[in-house]
Amino acid sequence: MAGPMALELHPDRLFPAEPSVRAIARELHGHVAELPIVSPHGHTDPAWFALDEPFSDPTRLLVTPDHYLTRMLHSQGVALEDLGVQPLDGSPVADPRSAWRTFASHVHLFRGTPSGLWLDQTFATVFGLEQRLGPATADLYYDRIAEALATDAFRPRALLDRFGIEVLATTESPLDDLAHHDRLIAEGWGGRVITTFRPDPVVDPDFEDYGANVARLGELTGCDVTRWDGYLEALRVRRADFRARGATATDHGHPSAVTADHDRATCQRLLDAALAGTLDPGGAEQLRGQVLVEMAAMSLEDGMVLQLHPGSRRNHSPRVLERFGRDKGADIPGRTDYVDALRPLLDRFGLERDLRIILFTLDESTYARELAPLAGFYPCLTLGPPWWFFDSVEGMWRHRRAVTETAGFANTAGFNDDTRALLSIPARHDVARRVDCAHLATLVAEHRLSLDDAADLAEDCAVRLARRAYRL
């Protein structure tokens, strides 16, 4: 029986197959391969960097928290408990080594997927592994990775240095005490690891424990959050707290892009009903949309960038939500309207040059029809990169082809990895840089772009657009 296959990373991976275009892509990638990483939006745990303790084991670092991995395995009948995902009731789960073996025995499922690319690059470049992961090499991988994680070179802060991460933004709730960010600031890491303001628990009436969350917001800020003006002031106070910890952006994970601009009396009625638990779905949509417009107004005041991530039908499986809680891979994209949904916001703020709103989508049909034309006109709008299900090779190609001719490169926000998986960040950025260089090489080969302009744009896409979009 043949032994394990070699783990090889081709130096020209993801570049065009045509030799002359591939050569151009290779040259362009040489300009950006070693540039620092700007990671302005993600979901890594700030405790990792504040405490700077060794990671516990390979499974809890690489598999259990990564819903890109767990959702694929779940789709093939693997129980989440067998991957170490803890049920809310505390039921037993597989131990880390057993969970790793389960993962290794199913790793073939990731062939041809973005996760497969990221995993191979992480295993080869971060841990120096030379054989492919599989059942026969599961324990070899586990032991080699566990041995590495026990060393100082693999502590979280050391990895930030090793990966060349210039800045990394985490994402926290307004109810978070931000103690980990306080420690980072005290120890000189405040400008390197920053926070992002994610107010969903206190602005979405459909969020679990919404009423209690808003009450807690009032306790933290000393504001009367039962009154509309007091509620907005509480959000304004917490934004200032986040700004003091380095935040440059807010993030909003709404089910749609609906915005609203109601009078104060209507806003108070919506808030009253939300706190009483009597708000209907249409009212909930209007309240979320109103708060989004209020957040745009606050962004004009304090300069924070507003990110809108609409369109996810979150926690699509009520059984998984009930057993495991949120963010377990059961979120599904849905249709999203932007042109009409954003009108109330754009009517008030669309022409404001000092406002920056970064739009994301899970509905690719909107790229050329809605998003590129909107960003190609309104000064406040910038287009985020392909997100979540579409931060893939093909997703990035579709995005560039659909968006760039109308919006240009300047109206896009570069790349952000939007991940919980720290060790995959270099691989994710390298994939994005390779795809951008492949796209630019095609334009050069077709004489639509000079080589000098392509090299300049490659650096824009790699770092400069993200720095500018997130005001870093």
Q: Read off the pLDDT of each residue in 435-445 and give the average, rounded to a whole number.
A: 98
Per-residue tokens: 286:
């209007």
Which positions ≥6 away from 276 have C-beta within 8 Å?
Answer: none
Is residue 2's pLDDT more than 70?
no
Residues 115 and 184 in one domain: no
* Residue 348 belongs to some domain of the structure: yes
Predicted confidence band at 383 (pLDDT cuts at 50, 70, 90)? very high
One domain, residues 185 and 324: yes
Residue 357, pLDDT score:
98
Residue 430 lies inside a defined structural domain of this protein: yes
- If asked whether residues 282 and 254 sit together in one domain, one would say yes
Assess if residue 3 is contained within a domain: no
| Residue 216 CA to its chain's centroid (Å) | 26
> Does 346 lie in the same domain as 212?
yes
Which runs of E-coded beta strand occur in 26-173? 37-39, 165-169
Yes or no: say if 294 and 234 are a contact pair by the CB < 8 Å rule: no
> Are residues 310 and 388 part of one domain?
yes
Taking only the tens place, the pLDDT of each residue in 360-370 is 999 999 999 99
pTM, full prediction: 0.96
Does position 327 have pLDDT exceeding 90, yes or no? Answer: no
1 against 307, higher pLDDT: 307
Residue 360 lies in a domain: yes
Region 45-59: mean pLDDT is 97
Same domain, 91 and 121: yes
In a domain, 141, yes or no: yes
Q: Which of the two residues, 346 and 8, has the higher pLDDT score?
A: 346
Give yes or no: residues 358 and 221 share one domain: yes
Which strand ranges, in their side-by-side order, compose the sheet holding 305-308? 249-252, 305-308, 357-359, 381-383
Per the structure, the complete domain to which residue 136 belongs is given by 56-154
- Out of 94, 121, 154, pick the residue that ends a domain: 154
CA distance 285 to 206: 9
Same-domain pairing of 235 and 286: yes
Domain end (from 154, 174, 204) = 154
Which 3 state secondary structure label does DSSP give 106? coil
**Given a cut of 80, is residue 335 above it in pLDDT?**
yes
CATH of the domain at 246: 3.20.20.140
CATH number of the domain bearing residue 111: 1.10.2020.10
